[in-house]
Amino acid sequence: MSETMIQIESLSKTYETKVGSVHALQNIDLQIQKGEIFGIIGMSGAGKSTLVRCINMLERPTSGKVIFDGQDMAAMNENELRKARQSMSMIFQQFNLLMQRTAEQNICFPLEIAGVSKEQAKKRVTELLELVGLSDRAKSYPNQLSGGQKQRVAIARALALEPKVLLCDEATSALDPTTTVSILKLLKEINTRLGITIVIITHQMSVIEEICNRVAIISDSKIAECGEVQEIFRNPKTEAARRLVLPETVSSGKGVGTRKIRMVFDGVSSSEPVVAELVLHFRMPVNIMHADTKDVGGTAMGQMLLQLPADPEIADKMIEFIKARGLTVEEVSDRG
């Protein structure tokens, strides 16, 4: 049975402003298991960054609890809270490196603050530079490094004090797609090798699909949906989840009919020529509006958006035909 690393109970955060109360978070309940890679996703302003700051108590929740490794963080004194935060490192979008320090000096910084001996610190920094693939850039300053290299230094620095949890707040948002993939691969390796629990805060579904085991979707300051990434991709239950899973290109346009379906397949079912069989069986055309495949948690998964014939009876029979082959099918509406 999995051990809970972070438990959030009925957490709310309200800000008082000149124009009234702003409810940034409302009744958040989450469990993050030890050793998993957990995603928190939402659009800008949904409340995800406030949530991560409440997890490490940089923001005090208005109500509710954050239980970290069995301890209630709200009940901790300042000294206990400082120790807890050392076990809960954070990686930021803009790297937050000290520009006047080299890569190795940046990584060493938290070790200096913690009073680690120079000899031990040097050994630890050497290990971390090797772990993030930057042994040859130890003496380089941040302005001599690429964005991906800077984030690798920031990751190494976050690992310096051997934390139990790594909080990644939009850690890949400032990076190009290729560099993003390499950073996510590194985080996955760190999770596998060191067993560190990783929490990814992002607005990009591609990041969640690439690396996370489970995901919580925040919409309008509340948890809209939470579960296994593959299951939410296969069968999103809320409008907030559908917005993240469905491509942005769903529009009416001209075609064979007005009804549209989303057909989801995994690595097994994708080898079957379902659309070809569909067209041959009914002798009626369908319009493929969108198709893509992706790696979701190590499994090849994909989706197709099909526009069905105008005849409602034929359209219904086509949906049953697809379902009979074990694929997930849902009707989708136009989005403005």
In terms of Cβ atoms closer than 10 Å to its own Cβ (0-12, 13-18, 19+), residue 196 is buried
| Boundary (domain end) residue, out of 227, 242, 257 | 242
Q: Same domain, yes or no, for 214 and 259?
A: no
Q: What is the count of structural domains for the chain?
A: 2
Look at residue 270 in the predicted model and tell me its pLDDT.
Answer: 55
Taking alpha carbons only, the member of 244, 194, 195, 192 closest to residue 218 is: 244
Round to whole Å and give the CA distance between 164 and 271.
41
Instruction: Give the residue numbers spanning the domain of 292.
Output: 247-332
Q: Same domain, yes or no, for 198 and 279?
A: no
3-state secondary structure of 4: strand
Q: Same domain, yes or no, for 146 and 253?
A: no
Q: Same domain, yes or no, for 221 and 282?
A: no
Q: Same domain, yes or no, for 108 and 57?
A: yes
Q: Same domain, yes or no, for 124 and 197?
A: yes
Query: Residue 153's domain is classified under what CATH number?
Result: 3.40.50.300
How many C-alpha atoms does 12 have within 13 Å on its Cβ side?
10
Query: Residue 327's domain is classified under what CATH number?
Result: 3.30.70.260
68: enclosing H helix or E strand = strand 63-68
Q: Same domain, yes or no, for 131 and 172?
A: yes
Q: Same domain, yes or no, for 208 and 296?
A: no
| Boundary (domain end) residue, out of 242, 268, 288 | 242
Q: Same domain, yes or no, for 215 and 270?
A: no
Q: Same domain, yes or no, for 74 and 173?
A: yes
Sheet containing 328-332, strands listed edge to edge, beginning at the edge strand earlier in sequence: 287-296, 299-307, 260-266, 328-332
Q: Same domain, yes or no, for 235 and 253?
A: no
Round to whole Å and give the CA distance between 224 and 203.
14
Taking alpha carbons only, the member of 306, 302, 299, 334 closest to residue 322 is: 306
Please state whether the predicted TM-score (pTM) of the whole model is above 0.85.
Answer: no
Round to whole Å and give the CA distance between 282 and 267.
26
Q: Which residues, 6 or more positions from 130, have their beta carbon under 8 angstroms from its beta carbon?
A: none
Q: Same domain, yes or no, for 56 and 31?
A: yes
| Boundary (domain end) residue, out of 221, 242, 263 | 242
pLDDT in single tens digits along all 336 residues of the chain: 569 999 999 999 999 888 888 899 999 999 999 999 999 998 877 888 899 889 999 889 999 999 999 999 988 998 899 888 889 999 988 888 999 999 999 999 999 998 999 999 999 999 999 999 999 999 999 999 999 999 999 999 999 999 999 999 888 888 888 999 899 999 999 999 999 999 999 988 888 988 999 999 999 899 999 999 988 888 888 888 888 887 654 444 444 457 888 888 776 555 567 888 888 888 888 888 877 777 776 677 778 888 888 888 888 888 888 888 888 888 887 654
Count of CB atoms within 10 A of residue 228's CB? 14
Round to whole Å and give the CA distance between 89 and 108.
14
> Dihedral of CA 230/336/201/102: which sign?
positive
User: Which one-letter amino acid corresponds to residue 99?
Assistant: M
Round to whole Å and give the CA distance between 224 and 251.
24
